[in-house]
Amino acid sequence: MESIFEILNKNDFNRCNIVTLLKSKSDESKLILDKARAVKLANVGSKVYYRGLIEFSNICLKDCYYCGIRRSNKNTNRYEIDADNILKAAKFAHENRYASIVLQAGERTDNVFVEKVNKLLKEIKKISNGELGITISLGEQSEEVFKRWFDSGAHRFLLRIETSNRELYSKIHPNNNIHNFDKRLEMLQSLQNIGYQTGTGVMVGLPFQTYEDLADDLLYFKKFNIDMVGMGPYIEHTETPLYQHRQKLLPAKERFNLTIKMNAILRIMMKDINIAAATALQSIDPLGREKALKFGANVIMPNITPTIHRKEYQLYENKPCIDEGADDCMGCLEARIGLAGDTVAYGEWGDSKHFFERQKKK
**CB 232, min distance to ligand SAH, A:** 5
Quick check: 233 binds ligand SF4 (CB under 6 A)? no
* Residue 60 contacts ligand SF4 per CB under 6 A: yes
> How many Cβ atoms from other residues are within 10 Å of residue 168's Cβ?
20
Smallest gap from residue 198 Cβ to ligand SF4 (A): 17
With CB under 5 to 8 Å by kind, the binding choice for 237 among ligand SAH, ligand SF4, none is ligand SAH
Question: Which residues pair with residue 54 across a beta bridge?
Answer: 103
Site for ligand SF4 in 302-331 (CB under 6 A): 315
Pick from 257, 347, 229: nearest CA to 33: 257
Bridge-based pairing of strands 197-200 and 203-204 is: unpaired
Question: In Å, how far from its chain's centre is CA 319?
Answer: 15
- Which of ligand SF4, ligand SAH, none does 159 bind, CB closer than 5 to 8 A by kind? ligand SAH
Beta carbon of residue 161, minimum distance to ligand SAH (angstroms, whole number) = 9
Q: Is 139 in the site for ligand SF4 (CB under 6 A)?
A: yes
62 binds ligand SF4 (CB under 6 A): yes
> Is position 207 an interface residue for ligand SF4 (rule: CB under 6 A)?
no
Least Å distance, CB 190 to ligand SF4, is 17
Rounded CA-CA distance 15/216 in Å is 7
Of these partners, ligand SF4, ligand SAH, none, which one is at the site of residue 184 (CB under 5 to 8 Å by kind)?
Answer: none
| Nearest residue (CB) to ligand SAH, 33 versus 281 | 281
181: left (phi over 0), alpha (psi -120 to 50) or beta: alpha
Smallest separation (angstroms) from ligand SAH to the CB of 137: 5
* Binding residue for ligand SF4, selected from 69, 214, 218, 275, defined by CB under 6 A: 69
Separation between Cα atoms, residue 102 and residue 55, nearest integer Å: 8
Rg (CA), the chain: 19
Q: Of 35, 40, 51, 70, which lies in the binding site for ligand SF4, with binding defined by CB under 6 A? A: 70
Binding residues vs ligand SAH (CB under 6 A)? 66-67, 104, 106-107, 137, 139, 159-160, 162, 203, 232, 234-235, 237, 280, 315-316
DSSP helix/strand/coil, 305 = coil
Q: Is 232 in the site for ligand SF4 (CB under 6 A)?
A: no
> Closest distance between ligand SAH and the C-beta of residue 71, in Å?
11
Q: Does 106 bind ligand SF4 (CB under 6 A)?
A: yes
Q: How far apart are CA 167 and CA 185, in angstroms?
A: 14
Instruction: Give least dist CB 280 to ligand SAH, A.
Output: 5
Residue 228 touches ligand SF4, criterion: CB under 6 A: no
Amino acid identity for residue 225 in this structure: N
Which amino acid makes up residue 190? S
CA distance 46 to 309: 33
Closest to ligand SAH by CB, 54 or 330:
54
Interface with ligand SF4 includes 236 (CB under 6 A)?
Answer: no
203 makes contact, choosing from ligand SAH, ligand SF4, none, with CB < 5 to 8 Å by partner type, with: ligand SAH
By beta-carbon proximity to ligand SAH, the closer residue of 232 and 320 is 232
Which region, judged by CB under 6 A, interacts with ligand SF4, from 5-13, 16-24, 66-74, 332-340?
66-74
Find residue 101's DSSP bridge partners.
52, 134
- Of the two residues 62 and 261, which places its CB atom closer to ligand SF4 in the complex? 62
Closest CA to 260 of 231, 301, 302: 231
Q: Is the distance from CB of 52 to CB of 92 less than 8 angstroms?
A: yes
Instruction: Write down the H helix ranges in the chain.
Output: 4-8, 15-23, 26-43, 83-95, 111-127, 143-151, 166-172, 181-194, 211-224, 252-269, 280-284, 288-294, 307-310, 326-339, 353-361
Closest by alpha carbon to 206, among 16, 66, 318, 35?
A: 66
Q: Closer to ligand SF4 at the Cβ: 64 or 187?
A: 64
